[in-house]
């Protein structure tokens, strides 16, 4: 399983992903699920992945290979963020179909979903959730966040504190507390975490941080939040 | 969908269920999902239901009919709460198999799960989660709560504030706030709610209350909790 969450706010984009992958509960590993494509000041695209690792790794490799070629179509040359989402969706759908065809003999199939967020110079910030088949939806000011993977445990906090006017600092708190609730309840979501912040109009990743399992600031925030929740609970009248 | 939660504490048992049933999203109804069998001072058994309404209604009717007969085995005459759980599990499994056989022609099947809690005079309080096949697990002091239906949204608050030593008043707050988080995030869980409290050693339902959609106390608690969460969020340092 996985938990990735992205907020698209007036002030910018905040992304957080875990790193746990598992095949059953007895085979867990750490893999990065956040990938950044950046031409600083010109274009920034961040992708977070959930689902079959063989699908997401192959899809990311194909996107990276295309972007590395000096010319030819790639997500670094697409005219718009919509074009970027379409290109990524098509790649994802093709890879999933390839892998599922190979696995079909065992009666299994493989799929993945992605969050794609970014901005090109002269364009708006956009954030998309790309479904396994390659189609997608987009975050709006009414619903300024998207989640993939184990989204339920961490949703109540987002619903209560996030609007499109939330500051980038509060947005980082919100995604970290949303992740904290998820980590407590679902073993298949695990540390370390990858956090990224893209300020609106900057076309670059302003902050990118890996939060390790022993990160003191994250641990302090988690403890303070538990204490604050218990205090708040004690003060509520029945 | 459904959300039912039961806490088994040193002080007693607290149960809360919603009342929404749906066949698709365009056909919703209100049905009670909490049923009490009571011989006050001697024996009390409360059952909460989730899953196929045709299965739970038939299973409850069979249990009620058996209990209404002057003699013969029933959950009101079983020697122990374990015997009660076994009897209910067997009935549930048989009804689910019957209904699934009828639905098999359409390639569908029907199932349900239950929470059963209670106490007989001279015995301990017990609380069981009965699976669709009729087998069951039991709440313990390590894990003093059980949930059926849409359990994820409401789990973080329980994990943070409930232990087996929680008071009955705090337990009522905890289940109501757990339900509140679920109501906000899942349309297929809906008001009104049914709340019941059974004090340890009383063998009777001490409090049973239906909470309607316009209940002012519940609305005030929900609003206060949202405000308290936002205040707590504002005070957490990044």
CA distance B39 to B204: 7
CB contact under 8 A, A238 and B221: yes
pLDDT value of position A136: 96
CA distance B214 to A206: 47
What mean pLDDT, rounded, does chain A reach?
94
Chain A residues in contact with B236 (beta carbon < 8 A): 173, 177, 221, 224-225, 228
Closest approach of chain B CAs to the CA of A181, in angstroms? 6
**Chain B residue whose CA is closest to A176:** B238
Chain B residues in contact with A147 (beta carbon < 8 A): none
Contacts of A56 (CB under 8 A, 6+ apart): A33, A49, A50, A112, A114
CA distance B120 to B200: 10
Helix segments in chain A, DSSP class H: 53-68, 81-103, 155-161, 168-185, 216-235
pLDDT value of position B193: 97
Question: In a structure prediction context, what are the per-residue pLDDT tens digits for chain A, which is 238 residues long?
Answer: 899 999 999 999 999 999 999 888 788 899 999 999 999 999 999 999 999 999 999 999 999 999 999 888 999 999 999 999 999 999 999 999 999 888 877 777 789 999 999 999 999 999 999 999 999 999 999 999 999 999 999 999 999 999 999 999 999 999 999 999 999 888 889 999 999 999 999 999 999 999 999 999 999 999 999 999 999 999 998 8
CB contact under 8 A, A236 and B224: yes
Partners of B209 in the beta sheet? B195
Give the CATH number of domain A3-235; options: 3.40.50.10540, 3.30.60.50, 3.60.20.10, 3.40.50.720: 3.60.20.10
pLDDT value of position A103: 84
Closest approach of chain A CAs to the CA of B186, in angstroms? 10
Query: Could you report the per-residue pLDDT of B36-58, keeping only the tens digit for each?
Result: 999 999 999 999 999 999 999 99
A221 → closest Cβ in B160, B228, B236? B236
Per the model's pLDDT, the better-predicted residue between A132 and B238 turns out to be A132
pLDDT value of position B238: 83
Which stretches of chain A sit within 8 Å of chain B by CB? 152-153, 155-157, 159-161, 169-170, 172-174, 177, 181, 184-185, 217, 220-221, 224-226, 228-233, 235-238
3-state secondary structure of B206: coil
Angle CA(A221)–CA(A26)–CA(A92) in degrees, nearest 5? 75
pLDDT value of position A26: 83
Structure tokens of B127? 């609380």
Q: Which of B28, B34, B3, B45 is nearest to B158 (CA)?
A: B3
What percent of chain B stands above pLDDT 70? 100
A161 → closest Cβ in B152, B233, B235? B233
pTM across the whole model: 0.90
pLDDT value of position B26: 83
pLDDT value of position B44: 98
The ipTM, to two decimals, is 0.86
Query: Could you report the per-residue pLDDT of B70-92, keeping only the tens digit for each?
Result: 888 999 999 999 999 999 999 99
Structure tokens of B115? 């929470």
pLDDT band at B183 (very low <50, low <70, confident <90, very high): very high
pLDDT value of position B56: 96
């Amino acid at each position: 399983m996985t938990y990735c969450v992205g907020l698209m706010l007036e002030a910018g984009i905040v992304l957080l992903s875990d790193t746990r992958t598992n095949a059953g509960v007895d085979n867990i590993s750490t893999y990065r699920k956040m990938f950044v494509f950046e031409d600083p000041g010109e274009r920034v695209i961040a992708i977070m992945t959930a689902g079959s690792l063989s699908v997401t790794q192959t899809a990311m490799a194909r996107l990276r290979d295309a972007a590395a070629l000096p010319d030819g179509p790639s997500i670094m040359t697409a005219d718009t963020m919509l074009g970027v989402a379409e290109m990524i969706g098509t790649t994802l759908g093709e890879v999933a179909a390839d892998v599922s065809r190979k696995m079909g003999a065992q009666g299994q199939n493989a799929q993945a979903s992605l969050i794609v967020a970014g901005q090109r110079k002269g364009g708006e910030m956009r954030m998309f959730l790309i479904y396994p088949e390659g189609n997608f939806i987009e975050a709006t000011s009414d619903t300024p966040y998207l989640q993939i993977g184990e989204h339920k445990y961490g949703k109540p906090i987002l619903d209560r504190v996030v609007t499109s006017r939330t500051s980038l600092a509060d947005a980082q708190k919100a995604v970290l507390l949303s992740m904290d609730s998820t980590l407590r309840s679902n073993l298949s979501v695990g540390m370390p975490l990858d956090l990224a912040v893209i300020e609106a109009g900057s076309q670059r990743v302003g902050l990118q941080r890996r939060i390790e399992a022993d990160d003191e600031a994250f641990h302090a925030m988690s403890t303070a939040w538990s204490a604050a929740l218990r205090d708040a609970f004690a003060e509520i009248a029945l």
